[in-house]
Structure 1
């Protein structure tokens, strides 16, 4: 199952990789977009690290009409937005956290409008900020429940013989 969140904004207002990272780090997260390109529109996916957890998700850059043709309920909100950035991910809490944080940066730096298409829901900055701790909590739960690696030492059984 994949999920899709879309940001609508003016192309001229899309922040650089560094601006996005600085905004998110200012919120108290150890966040990095992995890779060298400063222009996120040149990438067809983003590899990110959030508090030491690496993840990848797909990104697509389109004209807003490419999205609103299928999602009419968004049209009334759009005014002068000339770009749509779609973030597509699976059941990966680190990806969800990164996408939420990037969306906050797009709101702060680019006055983006954010929509979660699967639930036909518009997100405010406050809603996104409120969701991040839940994602982080789920990441920590996954980390604790991870199956041990095959490279870790295995307990040995001591057998007594007469």
Structure 2
């Protein structure tokens, strides 16, 4: 039985349709198979900031920290949060440890608010890994517009 044999060139077949799209897919797939995928870096302080007419409210995630290890500094309209974090995760198999991850270190985050904060009236509470800051706006700290005469 005689048949036709065709020599296949996978690269030509791939490049025939759209060379740039296919190469992008190739490199994206390559990057996704990296041995570092799934390994997490140092956790960051994630936060939400809301405001009303009187104050800003900041809710920041600081898991793994004790309240005595959290420091907050306010200077004008700049707020800095610093925390000493100790986090341990352990996954066990049948008898032998399969994976253990530990993180010890400092996290910090600074941000500027649109208006200065009344640092004498500011409050901080920490519960279940969430730091809640109530930052009253400083009276008279807003912008003043001048009329050109």
TM-score range, shorter chain: under 0.3
TM-score by length of 1: 0.23
Q: Which has more strand, going by share of residues? A: 2
Q: Find the structure with the greater CA-based Rg.
A: 2
Q: Which has more helix, going by share of residues? A: 1
TM-score by length of 2: 0.24
